[in-house]
């Protein structure tokens, strides 16, 4: 297929990626700008990063965001994996249509609606707004993303190993933790990471459901962005981009390694069989 | 004995996420609907009749009698709301087409790339998707401003003599949507194109079909499920978008997400914002159900 990679194909790939990456690269470059005027280059400097360390509000917001992200992503991974198992394995039960609807709808639901509706729920049940309301809100919309990621792995899952384990007398719970979970683990980890970054990223739902003392980093960045572009914000953004990029690259290398290892194991098994 | 345990496990695995979604996804919509028929008052919570879920079903039903359609009548009387809905639909529709026009050649080029570099290209598309949405929108402010980088660049080339006003216009909103939603368009299209059997094209060409006709007769129809999925993934969320019109669109761009936000946070009118959300949900039900059916069918096919 190599000879089919025409000039047109190459041009569209190169232009597409230029479009995707140029704005981010420019943002990163200007975070190292000496001048406060964001669009005038006045020499290299890391002073805006040093200034961040003095911005206590921003640091507090970063910790809130990390706590919300860890907690909500962890709960969402458990719930989302259960939802994926339900969708793939239990094809017949009452209310399945409603269930799959509730799993897929949040993927495209506008955030303003999710945020407003959850806030009104919390007010109706007199739940004090703060850390837990944001966490519950994030769990609800991210678990659906986890479900979709895990589901795609479960569909292409060879069930014969599970059956073998059950035949040998393993209980369903033991089979799940010793056979199923290790095999779908890359998807579960990918789901957790997706949930975590979606939570780190969310402005709209957090703004609706948050309360005093639970201002997240996107909420803080947003209130500063509204006042204009500043090099400090560029610096915060650059740090966030770097953290996410490193995370994604490390994760993809790890899953690739695991994939290679798995293939090797499978080969080893089939070789033994042929011998 | 073991069958009983298995049945209990099975039931728990279904019930826990089911209940969570019922309580935190479905029930809130009923509450939005209920409050959209209340009357705004200056109190906390700022609507009347107030209801408390702890007072039980009887009180909930009692409250239903006091409900009014006043907020919905209000939505039809002020042109702001109708204009917001229409302009959101239009902006989302036009942006979806633009995203497709940029996304399809990109996905097509990726699917044709040598096998060895394909995983890297895929990672490069996914990476911005993991990067904060807010940051990606913010990045464009510095570029599109009157004294921003795009104007400086065009100025130095001598293309323009005075700065283009792009920021705070609908054009900026289109750019923002295309930019942030591009991965959602590329990924499903790439997934269908990558699975495509290339010998079909070769067969068409062997039979004398010119490349462009082969593309429209073979490639495009096969990619259609991916194209539809990509368009839905851009179109539906873009209608309710708030961050992009707020940061890039300025005061002259009307979009319903922004109107709802203002109604809620600036005017503190919870009943009217609930009515706005209810209507938006009704508009979106058809495309969302269609999207969900399509996902379910795609899942059936993969089995």
Q: What is the CATH number of the domain that holds B240?
A: 1.10.3720.10
The alpha-carbon gap from B257 to the nearest alpha carbon of chain A, in Å, equals 6
Kindly report the CA angle at B216 between B210 and B219, in degrees rounded to 5?
100
What span, in angstroms and rounded, lies between the C-alpha atoms of A161 and B62?
Answer: 56
**A65 assigned to some structural domain:** yes
- Residue B177 forms contact with A (CB below 8 Å): no
B113 contacts chain A (CB < 8 A): yes
Residues of B in contact with A256 (CB under 8 A): 119
pLDDT at B276 over 60: yes
CB within 8 Å: B260 and A245: no
CB-CB neighbors (< 8 A) of A150 in chain B: none
Interface of B with A in 178-237 (CB under 8 A): 179, 182-183, 186, 198, 232-233, 236-237
| Whether residue A265 has pLDDT greater than 50 | yes
Closest to A86 measured CA to CA, from A74, A73, A100: A100
Interface contact flag, B281 A21, Cβ < 8 Å = no
B28, B31, B135 ranked by CB distance to A240: nearest: B135
Nearest to A39 among B126, B149, B233 (CB): B149
Could B131 and A137 be called an inter-chain contact, meaning their C-beta atoms sit closer than 8 Å?
A: no
How many CA atoms lie within 13 Å of B71's alpha carbon, on the beta-carbon side?
25
**Residue B222: domain span:** 78-302
Question: What is the radius of gyration, based on Cα positions, of chain B?
Answer: 25
Mean pLDDT score, B166-188: 92
Please check whether residue A199 touches B, CB under 8 A: no
Q: Tell me whether residue B14 is in a domain.
A: no
pLDDT, average across residues B55-73: 71
* Residue B277 near residue B32, CB atoms below 8 Å: yes
For B30-39, write each residue's pLDDT tens digit: 888 888 888 7
**A272 in any annotated domain:** no
Domain CATH code at residue A139:
1.10.3720.10
Question: In this structure, is residue A27 part of a structural domain?
Answer: no
Query: Is residue A254 assigned to a domain?
Result: no
| pLDDT at residue A271 greater than cutoff 90 | no
Closest residue to B260, CB basis, from A6, A15, A112: A112
Mean local confidence (pLDDT), A20-24: 91
Q: Using the predicted structure, report yes or no on whether residue A1 has a pLDDT greater than 50.
A: no
Residue A200, domain extent: 55-228
**CA–CA separation, A77 vs A75, rounded Å?**
5
**B48 part of a folded domain:** no
Count of structural domains, chain B: 1
- Asked whether residue A6 is domain-assigned, the answer is no
- Cα distances from A162 to residues A183, A255, B2, B230, in angstroms, run 11, 22, 16, 35
Q: Is B146 on the interface with A (CB under 8 A)?
A: no
CA A143 – CA A153 distance, rounded (Å): 16
| Whether B131 contacts A241, CB under 8 Å | yes
pLDDT score recorded for residue A2: 44
Closest alpha carbon to A132 in A217, A212, A240: A212
Contact status of A253 with chain B (Cβ, < 8 Å): no
B29 within domain boundaries: no
Question: What is the nearest CA distance from B77 to chain A, expressed in angstroms?
Answer: 22
**Mean pLDDT along residues A34-60:** 81
* Minimal CA separation from B280 to chain A, in Å: 8
Q: Is the pLDDT of residue B166 over 90?
A: no
Whether residue A210 lies inside any domain: the answer is yes
CB contact under 8 A, B274 and A240: no
- 3-state DSSP assignment of residue B39: strand
Helices (H), chain A: 7-30, 47-52, 56-89, 96-108, 111-124, 131-155, 160-167, 172-175, 181-201, 204-209, 217-225, 231-274
Strand partners, B240: none
B300 at interface of A, judged by CB pairs closer than 8 A? no
Interface of B with A in 71-90 (CB under 8 A): none
Collapsing DSSP states into helix, strand and coil, what is residue A1? coil
In a domain, A248, yes or no: no
Total-model pTM = 0.85
Residue B150: pLDDT above 80?
A: yes
Q: How many CB pairs under 8 A join A and B?
A: 269
Phi, psi of B141 (to 5 degrees): -60, -50
Closest-CA distance, A275 to chain B, in angstroms, reads: 32
**DSSP secondary structure letters along B66-90:** T--SHHHHHHHHSHHHHHHHHHHHH
pLDDT in tens, A221-237: 998 888 777 788 888 88
Q: How large is the average pLDDT for residues B138-143?
A: 88
Q: Which of A26, A110, A150 to mutate to test the interface with B (most CBs of B within 10 A)?
A: A110
End-to-end Cα distance, chain A: 36
Tell me how close the Cα of B147 comes to any Cα of chain A, in angstroms. 7
Indicate yes or no: CB of B281 within 8 angstroms of CB of A9.
no
Residue of B nearest to A26 (CA): B139
In this complex, the residue of B25, B132, B149 whose CB is nearest that of residue A106 is: B25
**Is the residue at A5 inside a domain?**
no
Please give the span between the terminal C-alpha atoms of chain B, in angstroms, as a whole number: 32
B51: its two tokens: 């209801």
pLDDT, tens digit (0-9, with 9 covering 90-100), for B225-244 = 899 999 998 998 899 999 99
Which ranges of chain B would DSSP assign to H, the alpha helix?
2-21, 27-35, 56-64, 70-77, 79-112, 118-130, 133-144, 149-157, 170-195, 199-206, 211-214, 220-239, 243-248, 256-261, 270-302
The larger pLDDT score, comparing residue B5 to residue B77, is at B77
Percentage of residues in chain A having pLDDT higher than 90: 30
Burial track A242-273 (b if 16+ CB lie within 10 A, e otherwise) = eebeeebeebbeeeeeeeeeeeeeeeeeeeee
- Nearest CB neighbour to B237, from listed A83, A85, A108: A108
What is the sign of the dihedral through the CA atoms of B1, B3, B5 and B11?
negative
Residue of B nearest to A103 (CA): B21
Contact list in B for residue A156 (CB cut-off 8 A) is 302
Q: Is residue B90 part of a domain?
A: yes
Q: Is the peptide bond before B49 cis (omega within 30 degrees of 0)?
A: yes
pLDDT digits (tens, 9 = 90+) for A81-136: 999 999 888 878 888 888 888 888 888 788 899 999 999 999 888 888 899 999 99
Residue B195's pLDDT is 83
Token pair 């729920």 is found at A121
Q: Which residues are bridge partners to B39 per DSSP?
A: B48
- Region B205-231 average pLDDT: 86
Q: Judge: A197–B130 Cβ closer than 8 Å, yes or no.
A: yes
Interface confidence, given as ipTM, is 0.84
């Amino acid at each position: 297929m190599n000879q089919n990679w025409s000039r047109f194909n190459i041009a569209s790939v190169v232009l597409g990626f230029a479009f995707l990456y140029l704005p981010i690269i420019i943002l990163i470059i200007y975070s190292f700008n000496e001048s406060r005027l964001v669009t005038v280059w006045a020499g290299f400097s890391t002073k805006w990063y040093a200034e961040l360390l003095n911005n206590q509000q921003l640091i507090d917001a970063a910790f809130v965001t990390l706590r919300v992200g860890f907690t909500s992503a962890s709960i969402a991974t458990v719930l989302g994996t259960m939802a994926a198992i339900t969708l793939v394995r239990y094809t017949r039960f009452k209310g399945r249509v409603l269930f799959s609807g509730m799993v897929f709808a949040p993927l495209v639901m506008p955030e303003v609606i999710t945020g407003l509706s959850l806030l009104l729920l919390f007010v109706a049940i007199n739940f004090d707004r703060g850390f837990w309301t944001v966490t519950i809100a994030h769990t609800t919309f991210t678990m659906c993303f986890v479900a979709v990621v895990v589901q795609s792995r479960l569909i292409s899952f060879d069930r014969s190993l599970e059956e073998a384990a059950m035949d040998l007398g393993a209980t369903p719970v033991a089979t799940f933790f010793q056979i199923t979970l290790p095999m779908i683990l890359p998807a579960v980890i990918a789901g957790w990471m997706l949930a975590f970054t979606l939570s780190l990223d969310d402005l709209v739902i957090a703004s609706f459901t948050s309360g005093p003392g639970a201002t997240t980093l996107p909420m803080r960045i947003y209130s500063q962005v509204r006042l204009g572009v500043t090099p400090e914000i560029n610096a915060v953004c650059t740090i966030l981009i770097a953290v996410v990029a490193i995370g994604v690259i490390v994760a993809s290398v790890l899953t690739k390694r695991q994939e290679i290892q798995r293939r090797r194991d499978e080969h080893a098994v089939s070789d033994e069989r042929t011998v | 004995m073991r069958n009983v345990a298995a049945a209990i496990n099975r039931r728990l695995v279904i019930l826990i996420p089911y209940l969570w979604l019922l309580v935190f996804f479905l029930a809130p919509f009923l509450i939005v609907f209920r409050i959209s028929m209340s009357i705004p008052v200056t109190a906390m919570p700022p609507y009347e009749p107030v209801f408390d879920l702890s007072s039980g079903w009887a009180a909930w039903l009692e409250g239903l009698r006091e409900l009014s359609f006043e907020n919905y009548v209000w939505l039809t009387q002020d042109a702001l709301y109708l204009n917001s809905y229409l302009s959101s639909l239009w902006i989302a529709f036009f942006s979806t087409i633009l995203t497709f026009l940029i996304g399809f050649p990109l996905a097509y080029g990726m699917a044709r790339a040598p096998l060895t570099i394909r995983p890297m290209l895929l990672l490069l598309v996914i990476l911005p998707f993991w990067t904060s949405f807010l940051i990606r929108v913010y990045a464009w402010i510095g570029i599109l401003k009157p004294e921003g980088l795009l104007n400086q660049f065009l100025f130095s080339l001598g293309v323009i003599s005075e700065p283009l006003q792009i920021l705070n216009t609908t054009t900026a909103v289109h750019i923002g949507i295309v930019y942030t939603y591009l991965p959602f368009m590329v990924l499903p299209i790439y997934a269908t194109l990558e699975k495509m059997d290339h010998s079909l094209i070769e067969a068409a060409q062997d039979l004398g079909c010119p490349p462009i006709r082969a593309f429209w007769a073979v490639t495009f129809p096969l990619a259609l499920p991916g194209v539809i999925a990509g368009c839905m993934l851009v179109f539906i969320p873009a209608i309710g978008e708030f961050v992009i019109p707020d940061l890039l669109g300025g005061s002259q761009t009307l979009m319903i997400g922004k109107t709802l936000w203002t109604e809620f946070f600036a005017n503190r009118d919870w009943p009217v914002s609930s009515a706005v959300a209810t209507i938006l949900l009704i508009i979106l039900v058809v495309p969302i159900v269609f999207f969900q059916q399509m996902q379910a069918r795609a899942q059936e096919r993969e089995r």
